[in-house]
Amino acid sequence: MIKYNKKGLKNEVLIDLYKSMLKPRLIEEKMLILLRQGKISKWFSGIGQEAISVGVTKAMQDDEYILPMHRNLGVFTTRKIPLYRLFSQWQGKANGFTKGRDRSFHFGTQEFNIVGMISHLGPQLGVADGIALASKLQNKNQVTAVFTGEGGTSEGDFHEALNVASVWQLPVMFCVENNGYGLSTPTSEQYNCKDIADRALGYGMESHIIDGNNILEVYNTVNEIAKSIRKKPRPVLLEFKTFRMRGHEEASGTKYVPQDLMDAWAKKDPLENFQAYLKDSGILNDVLEVQIKEEIVHEISENLQKAFDEEPIISNATEELNDVYQEFVYEDVSPNSKTHELRLVDAISEGLNQSMKRHDDLVIMGQDVAEYGGVFKITDGFLKQFGKDRVRNTPICESAIVETGMGLSIAGIKSVVEMQFGDFVTSGFNPVVNYLAKSHYRWNQNADVVLRMPCGAGVAAGPFHSQTNEAWFTKTPGLKVVYPAFPFDAKGLLATAINDPNPVLFFEHKALYRSIRQEVPTDYYTLPFGKASILRKGNDITIISYGAAVHWALNTLDKNSSIQADLIDLRSLQPLDTEAIYASVKKTGKAIILQEDSLFGGIASDISSLIMENCFEQLDAPVKRVASMETPIPFINQLEDQYLSRDKFEAELLKLLAY
Ligand SMILES: Cc1ncc(C[n+]2csc(CCOP(=O)(O)OP(=O)(O)O)c2C)c(N)n1
């Protein structure tokens, strides 16, 4: 039996807490019936865990963000989302939150300050860091609450998010609902310590263990903690002990759960116990109970009818495509006439610096970017100029930092994340391709994050410091990919990348950083995405390239002055300037694409297909792709030289010309 201590709470508050727990319970009971009738697709039950969702949400202010999971219906109902909208969401209808694009609780809503999960569980922990960082930077004195199950705590995201939150003293309540099982995996096979709360010590963080089935303990404790965090921002780890009373999802059952465990926890049902307590204390009687239930049941059936009556979504390909990216109206800022000679590395630094002045809340995050100025010195001196709030050294935790960027964006703050080397984006791959890329399409939330990606070979740095991995991202709808080859382009395109509210991967070739110089306008200017630059003009052949390979093509043309070629530097790969490509190929009748990446699945393959599909009748020869070897990138020069497409290009060009 649960023991309650009302600690001076008024009876109205107790009744309100009771109603708030009863509502998700009754909704769920209805959903289980609908599920059996085949009227909804899948259901993750939170029955038995309502006290946590309700208690935490009640302890928060309405303008504070909550990031719930799949068993937190009580968060959504306590925030008073009209029920028909939830029902429509689960039926994939337009009154839901994702236009039928994502299911169940996989959505967020700025209107209710809720940011729902993505299936991968862990990433939202870092997103909470970003929202909390924004609160701190904007002196809002707000607390952010993020949920995870105990299973989710095994993911790297959990470790990274807690570590960052602690290092940066971010006002986050990390709420772990320890409900005994992660799918069929018991806690004994999930982690090897007594309490998850103990982990806080390792992060230098305060923690509390709370009886997650006791609504008053949840509400009172979280209320106190939230108040104290608002006064003194810091992260706190809360472990709620509870139990999952139904299957992971309804279809999977609970056969693997010992019956005595089930029976013991059934006695601790948060709703039944609280109801009995309220009755024993004379706060609730049978008449009031029936009245409350009837009201909720009525609300449910009315809203359910509304959702059932709503027409199904009619698919519209244009709308689908239009919603992948947030609309961006490019603002052209022309370059001034005064120039100075800059290396690529300086142009990027200057562009970034001017954007920091133009957007006075833009935040830079990355390893060693502050005092040290970044390993390539792009942010050298920024710390002094813009301060530690905006130029942030991060722990080594690519996932959490990408997620933090997402959280900042949710709170309206732009960020630039420096990958120390583009290769290391793999450690933050999940949030890039699943969170940043898909948010706008899923629930209309843009990810205003630029990822700077120092990349490329030719510097004898081996397999993990030389990759050019743009193709991983050009194939992911929702991301933009920019890849300049010259200082002038890099500066203007970086400014645009930062202005663009969508996630942009900005590739910077390391071998060009200090080897390529150009006269660059001194002031801030922008350049549009999706506009290639035609570096050479000729009628014999079209050469298409980007990044360092552009310079290899230029060198080849310098060496062979008789070749009359159009040389197209793509500058941005997503969006791609297909118009420039087609116009040139239709004129020359021959196309060769040179890329630094290895061949298979690289962007050259898609460009080749596009040319075949759109210019076939004007082609005088098969389209040729020239790319690096199908091996990892080796270290020593003679192997790297052999690996790269650079030295193979001339022969292939001549062969195609002779075709
Ligand atoms: C990265 C990833 N791995 C595996 C899964 C499949 N999966 C979904 S929920 C779940 C169990 C989660 O357990 P826990 O975090 O304890 O939350 P609970 O479901 O118990 O509330 C698993 C294995 C997933 N969604 N994402």
Mutate to test the pocket of ligand 1, among 157, 181, 248, 435 (most ligand atoms within 8 A of CB): 248
Please state, rounded to an integer, the average pLDDT across all residues of the chain: 97
Question: Is residue 629 over pLDDT 90?
Answer: yes
Atom of ligand 1 nearest to the CA of 150: 16
Q: How far apart are CA 211 and CA 588, in angstroms?
A: 74
Atom of ligand 1 nearest to the CA of 177: 21
C-alpha 462 – ligand 1 centre gap (Å): 36
Q: What is the pLDDT of residues 577-593, one digit of tens each?
A: 999 999 999 999 999 99
C-alpha 220 – ligand 1 centre gap (Å): 29
Question: Of all protein residues, whose CA lies closest to atom 7 belonging to ligand 1?
Answer: 183
* Pocket lining for ligand 1, CB < 6 angstroms: 71, 119-121, 148-152, 177, 179, 181-183, 244, 248
What pLDDT sits at residue 121?
Answer: 97
User: What pTM was computed for the model?
Assistant: 0.98
Give yes or no for a contact between 411 and 405, defined as CB atoms under 8 angstroms apart.
Answer: no
Mutate to test the pocket of ligand 1, among 42, 50, 121 (most ligand atoms within 8 A of CB): 121
Question: Of all protein residues, whose CA lies closest to atom 24 belonging to ligand 1?
Answer: 120
Q: Which residues contact 453 (CB under 8 A, 6 or more apart)?
A: 419, 422, 425, 469, 505, 506, 507, 508
C-alpha 438 – ligand 1 centre gap (Å): 20
What pLDDT sits at residue 136?
Answer: 97
- 181-182 vs 144-149, strand pairing mode: unpaired
Give the C-alpha distances (Å, rounded to integers) separating 118 from 125, 148, 229, 335, 568. Answer: 11, 12, 27, 42, 39
Q: How far apart are CA 491 and CA 654, in angstroms?
A: 34
Give the C-alpha distances (Å, rounded to integers) separating 327 from 324, 434, 440, 467. Answer: 9, 20, 10, 31
What pLDDT sits at residue 403?
Answer: 98
Catalytically active residues are: 465
* CB neighbours of residue 47 within 10 Å: 18
Q: How far apart are CA 367 and CA 362, in angstroms?
A: 17
The 3-class SS string of 37-52 reads: CCCCCCCCCCCCCHHH
Q: Phi first, then psi: what are they for 625, rounded to 5°?
A: -105, 130
Q: What is the pLDDT of residues 399-417, one digit of tens each?
A: 999 999 999 999 999 999 9
Question: Is residue 572 over pLDDT 80?
Answer: yes
Which three-class secondary structure state does DSSP give residue 481? strand
Residue 69 banded pLDDT, cuts 50, 70, 90: very high
Question: Is residue 41 over pLDDT 80?
Answer: no
Give yes or no for a contact between 115 and 97, defined as CB atoms under 8 angstroms apart.
Answer: no
Atom of ligand 1 nearest to the CA of 44: 19
What pLDDT sits at residue 1?
Answer: 86
Question: Of all protein residues, whose CA lies closest to atom 5 belonging to ligand 1?
Answer: 120
With 0-12 / 13-18 / 19 or more C-beta atoms within 10 angstroms meaning exposed / middle / buried, residue 36 is exposed
Atom of ligand 1 nearest to the CA of 190: 16
Question: How much of the chain exceeds pLDDT 90, in percent?
Answer: 98
Q: What is the pLDDT of residues 221-237, one digit of tens each?
A: 999 999 999 999 999 99
Q: How far apart are CA 393 and CA 386, in angstroms?
A: 13
Query: Torsion over CA of 307, 312, 314 and 319, rounded to 10 degrees?
Result: 30
